[in-house]
Structure 1
């Protein structure tokens, strides 16, 4: 089988990595005034260099900075957009795992000004990552425009600023187009838009939530896909764009469940991306049947078969068997392999060790080499 020379790669990963204990300590120290922000930055630099070496050493062909500078996978980006601020109220998000429920009080956001992008968000972070790589393609992960809306819906958008919701979407997608253009100028050739909503909306409970914030529960995913496409219009030549969808990832717990049946047709036929990172690590994700809707051609589906929520290592035989099952619905040459999500979508991280994280990434590379060839 032909070697993939453009992203996504046969063995790939979502992006976030466990924060080293010394980096977590440095965050506490800067908050307490024991070290300066410059000292924290230097320690982040050191941790990112080590993370890049690890990723290249296990054989990955794409590397990220592990999102080690961030507190969360999405809000650090969203709050940097012009016109968006933190709100005094909190949003309660209920996460679940085999031990019970976790109630997470997330910071709310408020669109209280015209949305725009005055500076290249994560531009410095990407340039630093680019300077650390030697054999792999640097990938930048950012939240999709959907995530600005999904947190609070129409109620989070000041009606005096945007009396017409269409003007909000016009400004937001224009800001994203400018961000993507600037990232292209910096040399970004692999961009990932993280979008939990496209997985959440398969869950009837999440569709009821959408209705409660003024959305159309049956068509919200179609609207989001249209706006993502608007955000990517005119993207730089040579830039590969993927999207990652999961059902929640916080301290080894999750929010939503359900197969991809509700969104699959629009997702595969209308979303203008090169690849889809999709989780299939347990029964919450449903079966592979929605892959039958993947158009024959160049688009890739990255099978998230390796869980980041537990440290126990999957077996090569099990992963190979599941890839074979998926290939009954989509051509093997249009499939890749990855973890189902990041290892640390927030600064808290999931319940596994650094060595278990490395072992899972190495296993993905090994299995991909055996299934698709080096």
Structure 2
């Protein structure tokens, strides 16, 4: 039986990572889009915005703080644009994007001719840090004893591969297969993680919308029509993350957040419960914690949690970032206890105490995965973060949230 001290667990209440940009940064980013300023003009405003959202998190009682992704235009920025071996293509033909991916099916059907992406035309390597400077800045703003609570979010290594598949992601004269491609990608990620760890980082969150695509029935059907084995591709993407997380320090938490889409205005792209992927995801993916979206019926019920092994944590994303309506504490608590019931009857069976220890709560996604943000206000954001903390205090009264 899992003891209450063996789990590498995020704090009981947290948010996924991105936060709404303060108006002055929002307006400046808008001006950048209009060609009215330069990218470097944003930095002092980003610095101030990070201080602002840090205080917002601290005031709400959130322990695992982020910089809100204030320096990013979109959640995946900062990795692929910095990796050596990738060429940015602003207008790649839409025919090279897999039409079975939900968001690209919409583009195909709408007659879109091209879209921006990356193509691997050389050996992948980390030629510069991804988020080291971002971590250093946030580290300078918190007391030394709180540095270990800083969470860095980074995009999954599969993000651009799922757009183009094994045939059109990389030059076949550079990589013969996906394993070679993801081995070098994973090496670059591990180098980044090593440097972050040496600076004091103890929590890395990998943001992965790709896994939830496998929950989407229409995509699975369309993949079959295209002759793509979804079982094999799922295994490929699990392995891609395992290469990233291999040989990590014992005191480093690595979590994965599975997103159904959080585009402009909070638009989602995929639906369906976790049942199709849960057994492999919980048992084969080498991470410590899973941030799962559970704010709407499109995520399904808690039954897939029966596959969660001992020694891992699920962070239930019960509070939505897509709607200003504030959830009720009693309803959130009731849902957590429903998840406990499933875990107790899972494989292996466990006590209610042990099951509750394997859970935490969070928002279902970020408040601003793209800089424009979701249709909520900063006050809504503040209230939802405070709600998470208060709910956690009531569920786990003997712990700090």
Q: TM-score, normalised by structure 1?
A: 0.91
1:9 maps to 11
2:273 maps to 259
Residue 191 of structure 2: which of 178, 188, 195 is its match? Answer: 178
2:229 maps to 216
| Gap change, CA 1:346 and 1:36, over 3 Å in 2 | closer
Alignment of 1:1-374 (within 5 A): 7-30=9-32, 34-87=36-89, 88-89=91-92, 107-134=116-143, 135=146, 137-154=149-166, 155-208=168-221, 215-250=228-263, 251-296=265-310, 298-330=311-343, 331-373=355-397, 374=400
Q: Is the 1:8–1:274 contact (alpha carbons within 8 Å) kept by the matching residues of 2?
A: no
Specify the SS of the correspondent of 2:291.
strand
Q: Is the 1:173–1:230 contact (alpha carbons within 8 Å) kept by the matching residues of 2?
A: yes
CA distance in 2, matches of 1:151, 1:212: 17
Structure 2 unaligned runs (5+)? Answer: 104-108, 344-354
Specify the SS of the correspondent of 2:360.
strand
Q: CA deviation at 1:258?
A: 0.6
Q: CA deviation at 1:39?
A: 3.5
Greater mean deviation of Cα atoms: 73-82 or 10-19: 73-82
Q: CA deviation at 1:209?
A: 5.5
Q: CA deviation at 1:306?
A: 0.5
Q: Deviations over 1:95-150 (max 9, x none)?
A: 6xxxxx99998522211211111111111111111112234711000012122311
Specify the SS of the correspondent of 1:338.
strand
Specify the SS of the correspondent of 2:231.
coil
Q: Deviations over 1:330-369 (max 9, x none)?
A: 2111110001101111112111111001111110000000
| Gap change, CA 1:102 and 1:286, over 3 Å in 2 | farther
Q: Is the 2:60–2:386 contact (alpha carbons within 8 Å) kept by the matching residues of 1?
A: yes
CA distance in 2, matches of 1:195, 1:31: 27
CA distance in 2, matches of 1:211, 1:124: 43
Structure 1 unaligned runs (5+)? Answer: 96-100
Q: CA RMSD for the aligned pairs?
A: 2.6
The runs of 4+ residues in structure 1 deviating greater than 6 Å are: 1-5, 101-105
Q: CA deviation at 1:28?
A: 3.5
CA distance in 2, matches of 1:315, 1:106: 41
Q: CA deviation at 1:51?
A: 0.5
Q: Deviations over 1:19-51 (max 9, x none)?
A: 122102222444566555443101100000110
Q: CA deviation at 1:75?
A: 3.9
